[in-house]
Amino acid sequence: VTLAARGPVVAIHGGAGTRTQAMREHKKEWHVSLRAALDRARTVLEAGGTALDAAQAAVALMEDGADQLNAGRGSALCSDGSVEMSAALMRGSDRAAGAVAGLRRTRNPIAAARLVLDSPQVLMVGASADELASAAGLEQCEPGYFVTEAQLARLRAGVARDRAGARAADVGAGPVDVGAGPADGGTVGAACLDADGWLAAATSTGGLRGQPPGRVGDTPLIGAGTWADATVAVSCTGDGEAFIRAGVARQLAGLVRCGVTLEEAARRALEDVAALGGAGGLVALHASGELVAPFLTEAMPRGVWRAGQAPQIVS
Ligand code: ASP
């Protein structure tokens, strides 16, 4: 197989979670957002761009796509109603990595992650990370820009549900659509393979709805929620604490390096998440062009484009 025959490939996800009422109602918007992100990455790769630029471009577009996706504007809200965003980017060719956590002002966290990737550091946090982005000319927004009505409503409903939780359990009420945790999904990620056969991965999130300010999940942690090397690129979504403790993305890559098939490696890594009481999903792209996108949740909107084929979106 020549390199040109197996690439380029773009795989994206829009977060693991439940198939909420909101998701059913806005299925069209979801598809439009995911399709636009796929097309953006595809344009980069067809012009001979790198997997890193393609993954960054796809995620930036999903950060801007307001209400459907939990990244950038429209992020899930912290318990106090604020937004704190995290993102990571990794290049497989040399394992250069950049990540940011706790951003409150930078419009595109993934662009800030790219700045870090191009610097000697790997992870930058909080106001200093926003300042770094600002100094480099990345657009800064008032904190209110990121807060949407839809997320405010979800936060309120989640709080109300948590208060009613004990009583609801007593009467045997079924699960509600708007719980805390990764229930509504929406974290975004991409894994890309370019024409030269190199991989990259990118992930961006507002974290878990109702999280305490300062909490950081797996997304910006290299090897937990995001990873790329010469063999495999991985972007995860789900219960961040379990993904961190399972070291999911790096674990998967390590298994593949030891000769385990991509599918089996992804299955084992998610099994480890489940053993810790977590749920979620991931996309994992192999340098051969093979792609898997398993998830333990009810749904994980995702899309794939391969050179010479029509783009596919599944939600
Ligand atoms: N993994 C993200 C976090 O824990 C949330 C998600 O994927 O929905 O912050």
pLDDT tens, the chain, 315 aa long? 444 447 899 999 999 987 766 677 777 888 888 999 999 999 999 999 999 999 999 999 999 985 678 999 989 999 999 999 999 999 999 999 999 999 999 999 999 999 999 999 999 999 999 999 999 999 999 999 999 998 999 899 886 665 554 443 333 333 333 333 444 668 999 999 999 999 999 999 999 999 999 999 999 999 999 999 999 999 999 999 999 999 999 999 999 999 999 999 999 999 999 999 999 999 999 999 999 999 999 999 999 999 999 999 998
Any atom of ligand 1 within 6 Å of the Cβ of 301: no
> Ligand 1 centre and the CA of 105: distance in Å?
19
Best of 77, 151, 154, 205 for a ligand 1 pocket test (most atoms within 8 Å of beta carbon): 205
Query: What is the atom index within ligand 1 of the atom nearest the CA of 243?
Result: 1
Of 69, 93, 311, 80, the residue nearest 203 (C-alpha): 69
> Ligand 1 centre and the CA of 308: distance in Å?
33
Is 312 strand, coil or helix? strand
Of 186, 110, 102, 123, the residue nearest 151 (C-alpha): 186
Protein residue with its CA nearest to atom 9 in ligand 1: 207
List residues with catalytic annotation. 187
* Omega before 212 within 30 of 0, i.e. cis: no
> Ligand 1 centre and the CA of 139: distance in Å?
24
> Ligand 1 centre and the CA of 183: distance in Å?
10
Of 58, 125, 131, 122, the residue nearest 95 (C-alpha): 122
> Quick one: residue 38, left, alpha or beta (phi over 0 = left, psi -120 to 50 = alpha)?
alpha
* pLDDT tens-digit map of 228-283: 999 999 999 999 999 999 999 999 999 999 999 999 999 999 999 999 999 999 99
Best of 188, 203, 208, 297 for a ligand 1 pocket test (most atoms within 8 Å of beta carbon): 208
Best of 20, 85, 215, 219 for a ligand 1 pocket test (most atoms within 8 Å of beta carbon): 219
C-alpha–C-alpha distance, residues 119 and 190, integer Å: 22
Q: Are 121 and 100 in contact (CB under 8 A)?
A: no
* pLDDT tens-digit map of 88-118: 999 999 999 999 999 999 999 999 999 999 9
Identify the H or E element spanning 266. helix 262-275
What are the percentages of helix, strand and coil residues in the chain, rounded to 5?
40, 25, 40
Phi, psi values for residue 220, rounded to 5°: -85, 0
Residue 130, token pair as written in the block: 């926003």
Of 89, 59, 54, 94, the residue nearest 307 (C-alpha): 54
Of 103, 237, 104, the residue nearest 181 (C-alpha): 237
Q: 119: which DSSP letter?
A: S
C-alpha–C-alpha distance, residues 151 and 77, integer Å: 7
Residue 240, token pair as written in the block: 């961040």
